[in-house]
Structure 1
């Protein structure tokens, strides 16, 4: 891979973002049509949910890797897959993921209540009825999203938008998190993904390792599944009932942890005039791709609300 480049441009990430958004939508429609026309196993709603989940993630990672090969980008190096984490970083990431979940549970419950009171029907979550379902759910809803979505939204988007001369570029954090949130195309999954995305992006830019993003994302999703299956909603009920002090404790963990990651970070690239001029050109080239994908996601978001 000596002739492959180790950097991802904003245009690169914009193209992959648009491809993944439209590719996922098209294939999901085709799958829904096939299963609606089929009988037996393929017509089962639960099967559609599992299959759609797997296919969506494979499209995301397929677009990222396929485009990388086509444009001769060394994707593992570019996204930080070759940057290992230290043991203390992994330990803090696990604590951070749990604290974020505890902080966001009351917020998500409040938002869900608002949406229900507004007349919206709550979407069907991942159905976990047995230990076998749990293992399958962990793979489909935790392992795959953490690897595939993080490669795109942190490894490509956040990475390409991060301006030189900064340890952590807040604009890159906000942009990548906003795209990550609207990608879910659901009012039920907007605030939590955005907040989680911001935390993941900060840690990713501070460590420059995609594994920090993967660990945070995986732990969050895995905890939701495990706690829901093992405690049958009692953990969520406890957190919501005691929301004020649990949120305070969570913040007391989240803020210092993020501060520590940022403090330990290093500036990767200097902000020279030439570098910034090239970035301005690159940004202009990427706008049409990001705009197309974003408008489609927002359209689907509104469709869910009014539909």
Structure 2
């Protein structure tokens, strides 16, 4: 029976604090030396292994905590479609957020992640940037953390794990996008009762970003010629173009909602029953601020690292 228990919120929050500190110190140093090797070290050694060790050290079941349950081909295809259609919506919301930030501070759009320039570097980027975070970060956030917070209810567990996921990037510029993605990934895990749902979604999302960067870089001159029409001035977006873009974003969002609802099944009902059982067993537990001190410390750390934006 012990192997069916969930990790406690206190222990998971402490783990989150420790890994956050390691990430911005050892992880940042490793990525500074070599970005690809640094990412692999960060994902597999600093994120994945500690979470696996944490679960096993508590005498918990990896299958239960991480939801290592099979998903069908139909579910996989639906998840891929959800992720693809979510991408423009998230990019749109991220752009609005950055536009708001740019009112207060000048925004540097550069990224530390090198974009692939040929087929070989694209494959390498796919394995390092697409697959690795998709596996390792989902194990931590939609696995360990989300499972622990289920004692507060599945909705709260999805939202809290998503916010913690957004903060874990430790840059305000890249907070909104990952947080919204985290909510979507959490819903996918809840609907399918499988961590594989969010792993597929995370991998597809990162691969899309990598692919767009690769194609834009490869055909940059051609794109410039098309946009400029041979002139040196680029025309601003027309009202019709803006309205059309908003309509497309709205259609994508609506379709995503429909597809997510289509995932509702017996798995979700069973998952909700298990969550309600955990809550009922845990309802006499008293919540202490001590449980969340680690999270408060990470929030302070996040604010300090983004001091220029939060003044």
Q: What TM-score range do you get, normalising by the shorter chain?
A: 0.7 to 0.9
Residues 230, 149 of structure 1: CA spacing in aligned structure 2 closer, same or farther, 3 A cutoff? Answer: same
Question: Tell me, which stretches of 5 or more residues in structure 1 are unaligned?
Answer: 36-41
Alignment counterpart, residue 149 of structure 1, candidates 116, 137, 154: 137
The match for 1:177 is 162
Q: Is the 8 A contact 1:120 1:305 kept in 2?
A: no
1:130 maps to what in 2? 118
TM-score, normalised with respect to structure 2: 0.80
Counting only pairs closer than 5 Å after superposition, residues 71-150 of structure 1 correspond to structure 2 as: 71-81=58-68, 83-116=69-102, 118-128=105-115, 129-150=117-138
Q: Which residue of 20, 40, 49 maps to 1:62?
A: 49
Aligned-pair CA distance for 1:96: 0.1
Q: Tell me the equivalent position of 1:289.
A: 294
Work out whether residues 116 and 122 of structure 1, in 8 Å CA contact, stay in contact via their aligned partners in 2: no
Measured after TM superposition, the shift of residue 31 of structure 1 is 3.6
Aligned pairs (5 A) from 1:126-275: 126-128=113-115, 129-163=117-151, 169-232=154-217, 242-262=244-264, 264=266, 265-266=268-269, 267-269=272-274, 270-271=276-277, 273-275=280-282
- Could you report, residue by residue, the CA deviation over 1:113-152 in whole angstroms, capped at 9, with x for unpaired residues? 4444531322424222222221121122111111111111
The whole-number CA distance in structure 1 between the counterparts of 2:102 and 2:246 is 23
- SS in structure 2 at match of 1:222: helix
- Higher alpha-carbon Rg: 2
SS in 1 for 2:130: helix
| Alpha-carbon separation, structure 1, partners of 2:211 and 2:101 | 25
Residues 84 and 304 (structure 1), Cα distance of their counterparts in 2 relative to 1, 3 Å cut: farther
User: Is residue 23–residue 42 contact of structure 2 (8 Å, CA) maintained in 1?
Assistant: yes
Q: Cα offset for 1:16?
A: 2.2
Q: Deviations over 1:53-77 (max 9, x none)?
A: 2222120112201222322222233
SS in 1 for 2:70: coil
Structure 1 residue 244 displacement after superposition: 0.9
CA contact (8 A) 1:79 1:156 kept: yes
Quick one: distance in 2 between partners of 1:268 and 1:79?
A: 17
Cα root mean square deviation, aligned: 2.9
Deviation (angstroms), 1:222: 0.7
Q: Is 1:298 equivalent to 2:303 in the alignment?
A: yes
Mapped to 1, the partners of 2:54 and 2:151 lie a distance apart of 23
Change beyond 3 A, Cα 1:75–1:295: farther
Q: How many residues are aligned here?
A: 283
Structure 2, unaligned runs of 5 or more: 228-236
Contact 1:97 1:219 in 2 (8 A): yes
Residue 203 of structure 1 contacts residue 262 of structure 1 at CA under 8 Å; is this kept in 2? no
